[in-house]
Structure 1
Amino acid sequence: MAYYYVNKNAQSNGDHEVHKSGCSWLPKEENRIYLGSFDNCKDAVKEAKKYYDDVNGCYYCSNNCHTS
């Protein structure tokens, strides 16, 4: 299991990216929401959708959940 976070700041396309703990692109603490501990990014993205409509997995740490 890994700890997942969602970026409070949207990307230029409006998506809020989901990141795994340890990711090089993990936002600063004040710019992220802790989502919980999950076995996979799909469950983390599902949790992030409780906060934001437009959610995407990070290309680098949650690539299985990343859409272009």
Structure 2
Amino acid sequence: MAQYYVNNNVQSNGDHEVHKVGCSFMPTANRTYLGDFHNCRSAVIEAKKHHYQVNGCFYCARDCHTQ
């Protein structure tokens, strides 16, 4: 299992990115802890409870990255 966070800062396309702990692109502030999950899909589902438009990070949650 891995720990996941969602970036509370919106990206230019309107997405809030989900990151796995250890990702160099995860913000150090203005983020929300989502919990421990077996995969990024579960973390994205949890993140959608906080933000309408969510996407996985291209680098650490590529299976959930849609663009």
TM-score w.r.t. length of structure 1: 0.97
Within a 5 Å distance, the mapping from 1:14-25 to structure 2 comes to: 14-25=14-25
| Residue 39 (structure 1) aligned with residue 2 (structure 2) | no
Matched residues, percent identical?
66
Describe the SS at the equivalent of 2:51: coil
Shift in Å at residue 31 of structure 1?
A: 1.1
Amino acid in the other structure paired with 2:22: G
Query: How many residues are aligned here?
Result: 67
Within a 5 Å distance, the mapping from 1:1-68 to structure 2 comes to: 1-28=1-28, 30-68=29-67
Structure 2 unaligned blocks of 5 or more? none
Structure 1 unaligned blocks of 5 or more? none
Q: Considering fraction of residues, name the structure with more helix.
A: 1
Distance 1:16 1:24 in 2: 16
Q: Deviations over 1:7-46 (max 9, x none)?
A: 0001000000000000010111x31000000000000000
Amino acid in the other structure paired with 2:12: S
Runs of 4+ in 1 over 2 A off after TM superposition: none
